[in-house]
Amino acid sequence: MRSRHSSQRKDALFEVSLFLLILLIGGYMIYDLYFRLPSSPSLVSPSAPVPVPDEKLAVDRFDILLLGLDGREGLNDRSDTLILVSVDEKNKKAQLLSIPRDTRVKVRGKLDKINAAYAYGGVDLSKKTVTDFLGVTIDRYVIINFNSLVKLVEQVGGIDVNVPFRMYNRLEGIDLQPGAQHLDGKQVLAYTRYRDSKHGDRERAQRQQEVLQLLAVKVLEGKSLPQITNFINFVLEEVETDLTAREMVALARLVSPVLENGVATKILPGEGKKIDNIWYYEADLTDLEKIMHNS
């Protein structure tokens, strides 16, 4: 009798353990399926139902237009920063393509600087202008102003940066000494805005890309999923975006493997020139297909 009871207890324990294992595996599968980038981003709403297991979710390319605004001149000022963030979920890769703000493009059919698109028609015209110019579909957008960047950097406790040279512009409130140092929010803003150097906007774009990657690393450092979720909630309060909460979690999960694979950072090739006494950046789109490729 004692042996039979022992056997029954073992069987019951095995059944409970198996049931819990199935629950854990099932829960993980649902979580893994739900928090991924959708195959048709423009058709997914924040309240979209959990996808069924056989739904194709992985995308070859998920493009986010990041617009940085001064924020001191109202909602319709020109975009100070334009970065096309391209994410390849399947291969765990990403690319940051900076588009110089003075790039000469067609805005509403007339040649103008690309940063004028936001002033004339907000994010919708900015997306359309970039789409027409580069032939890429913009899936989502993120708009961040200077004050929000300061808050985001402060939220992660600042970042470590090696300032390459003396950066000083009294009118813009920029005053940084060269060398490796820990920067707070206002200092990071100054670091990303400074353009009084030999390669002005090009070096500026490189620093902006650097800060984005450093912020991503800092967000993940020793943080659990609930902590990352809290940070995402903070971001949602500070930036304007049409990314869903589901997509933001999916992107957060991709950060670590993407950084391990190395983020491709590019600046739209071209050169500055004066046309009709106005300074423009004339883009070279000869190798556009190669430029847009995440490598």
Query: Any idea where the domains of the chain sit in the sequence?
Result: 2-34, 62-292
What mean pLDDT value characterizes the chain? Answer: 79
Provide the residue type at 189 as one letter. L
The secondary structure of 116-184 as a DSSP string is HHHHHHHHHHHHHHHHHHH-----EEEEEEHHHHHHHHHHTT-EEEEE-S-EEEGGGTEEE-SEEEEE-
pLDDT tens-digit readout, 73-123: 544 577 888 999 999 888 889 999 999 999 999 999 999 999 999 999 999
Stated length of the chain:
295
Short-list 64, 241, 69, CA closest to 149: 69
pLDDT score for 254: 85
Mean pLDDT of 126-147: 93
Strands 140-145 and 62-69: parallel
Query: Long-range pairs for 117-125 at CB < 8 Å and ≥24 separation?
Result: 117/79, 118/67, 118/69, 118/76, 118/77, 118/78, 118/79, 119/76, 119/77, 119/78, 122/75, 122/76, 123/65, 123/67, 123/240
Residue 241 banded pLDDT, cuts 50, 70, 90: very high
pLDDT tens-digit readout, 166-183: 999 988 889 999 999 999
- Kind and range of the H or E run holding 29: helix 2-34
pLDDT score for 237: 85
Short-list 246, 251, 241, 72, CA closest to 150: 72
Q: Which CATH entry fits the domain spanning 62-292: 3.10.28.10, 3.90.1150.10, 3.40.630.190, 3.50.50.60? A: 3.40.630.190
pLDDT score for 205: 87
Residue 270 banded pLDDT, cuts 50, 70, 90: very high
Is the pLDDT reported for residue 23 higher than 50? Answer: no
Short-list 140, 137, 98, CA closest to 123: 140
pLDDT score for 294: 64
| Most confident option among 49-58, 218-227, 243-252 | 243-252
